[in-house]
Amino acid sequence: MIRQRPASRLSLALALAFGLATGPLAMPAAASDLFTIPANAVDVTAATAVQARERALADAQQAAARKLIERLVVPAGGTPPRLSAAQVATLVQDVEIADERVSAVRYIANVTVRFRPDAVRSFLRDQGIVFSERAATPILVLPVLDQGDGPMLFDDRNGWLRAWADRPAGGGPPLAVPLGDLADVGALTAGQALSIDRPRIAALARRYGADEVAIVRAAPAAGGNVAVTITRVAGDGPARVARSSHADPAGDFAGPLRATIAALERPLAPATPPPAAGTPAIGQGGADLATAPAGSAEEWIALRRRIAETPGVERVDIVALGGGKARVRITHRLDADRLRQAMGALGVQVDAPQPLSPPPAAQPLPAARPPSAPVPLAPTPLVPAMPRG
């Protein structure tokens, strides 16, 4: 294990990936824990091992800074700012390196980043950003496997549940996975979880000391992939749904598990307030074109998922991709101002709004689709695994 001070030069911009998930707030955390982001995995290839190491440590510090800022800001109802590499360098106290592996051109490690609490507080206050130094209660994860013969939860055949129970320790959000004992079996079925039976889900959450629940449904998808639907529920708030598809060549759910944990790292933002008088109702949105930054494949995949996870967004289609930018068509149920505001926070510029015709006034709006019948998104491009060596 190696501990060192942060590098003085950081070259990469803040990655638009997933942040640290938090539910309703609990006991205050010790500052040393709250301002530490553990086990940021890095795997970088460059022209030389030295360059790969420098880039990897820069990546780890940038990713850790994003997670820390989201951890402090999102639960307080604020909007996380984007940090430059220079800003991140002023906030980092030190880094700790473990599981380090180096080849002639590749660097792999797990990097723990500690931040200077006073510097972080001062930065947020100077920016006028509200934040909260309170720890999160765990998220209760309910892994439901649906292979076409009926969904299963607390079942010996549920390999998806076993993968979660056996997941490696490390960084990421605090998660609780049910034991699957007789009390759990009698408390909730797979069908009740997928239909979001709130009283039963809440009772199980209380047993595990959780204020937020993530129902993670895995099902076979085209090309041997695994389709994952994450439905997050906290209190009486609306269910938030995100969908993705991941390669699983070994059939052990390792890839889908890593991706889902990363998705749960993003904090559950406060529910959108009721629309003001005269604001178009949900269902009176449109399909708008937008321009999004597209750096590396990983950054673009992460950004596309964040767009798709935005409340009110139903579909994201790629129109063109190249030159560091992506042209996308966003099908949504938002008014123009809300769409622009939500996308602007992600660095996405909306143009040429094309509102859909509203339904007849006498017709009731269609009921929302249940989690078991998700609205399909266009397949997300997968990044081939890098050969170890």
Taking only the tens place, the pLDDT of each residue in 304-350 is 878 888 887 888 887 777 777 888 888 887 877 788 888 888 889 89
On the question of pLDDT at 28 being above 60, the answer is no
Least confident window among 118-132, 180-194, 203-217, 336-350? 336-350
What per-residue confidence (pLDDT) applies to 117?
A: 93
Least confident window among 24-38, 87-101, 134-148? 24-38
Contacts of 1 (CB under 8 A, 6+ apart): 96, 97, 98
Q: Which two tokens stand for residue 185?
A: 């079996």
- Nearest residue to 269 (alpha-carbon basis) of 307, 292, 240, 228: 240
How confident is residue 143, by pLDDT bands cut at 50, 70 and 90? very high
Residue type, 197: D
Element (H, E) at 50: helix 49-73
Q: Are 167 and 201 in contact (CB under 8 A)?
A: no
Mean predicted lDDT score pLDDT of the chain: 77
| Tokens 């937020």 belong to residue | 212
- Nearest residue to 17 (alpha-carbon basis) of 234, 245, 296: 296
Domains 139-264 and 281-384 share a fold: no
| Tokens 């998220």 belong to residue | 139
How confident is residue 196, by pLDDT bands cut at 50, 70 and 90? very high
Helix (H/G/I), strand (E/B), else coil: 49:
helix
d(CA 386, CA 331): 34
Q: For residue 272, which phi and psi values (nearest 5 degrees)?
A: -65, 130
- Nearest residue to 247 (alpha-carbon basis) of 224, 264, 271: 224
Most confident stretch, 20-24, 68-72, 102-106: 102-106
Q: Where do the structural domains in the chain lie, given as residue ranges?
A: 2-126, 139-264, 281-384
d(CA 179, CA 29): 26
Q: Are 371 and 241 in contact (CB under 8 A)?
A: yes
Q: For residue 217, which phi and psi values (nearest 5 degrees)?
A: -100, 125
What per-residue confidence (pLDDT) applies to 67?
A: 84
Average pLDDT over residues 250-268: 86
CATH for 281-384 is 3.30.70.1340
Domain 139-264 has CATH 3.40.50: yes
- Helices (H), strands (E): how many in the chain? 11, 13
What per-residue confidence (pLDDT) applies to 77?
A: 65
CA angle 173, 79, 258 (to 5 degrees): 25
Question: What dihedral angle (degrees, nearest 10) is formed by the CA atoms of 13, 15, 20, 23?
Answer: 100
Least confident window among 111-115, 223-227, 308-312, 375-379? 375-379
Q: How would you label 42-81 residue by residue, b for 16+ Cβ within 10 Å and e otherwise?
A: bebbeeebeebbbbbbbbbbbbbbbbbbbbbbbbeebebb
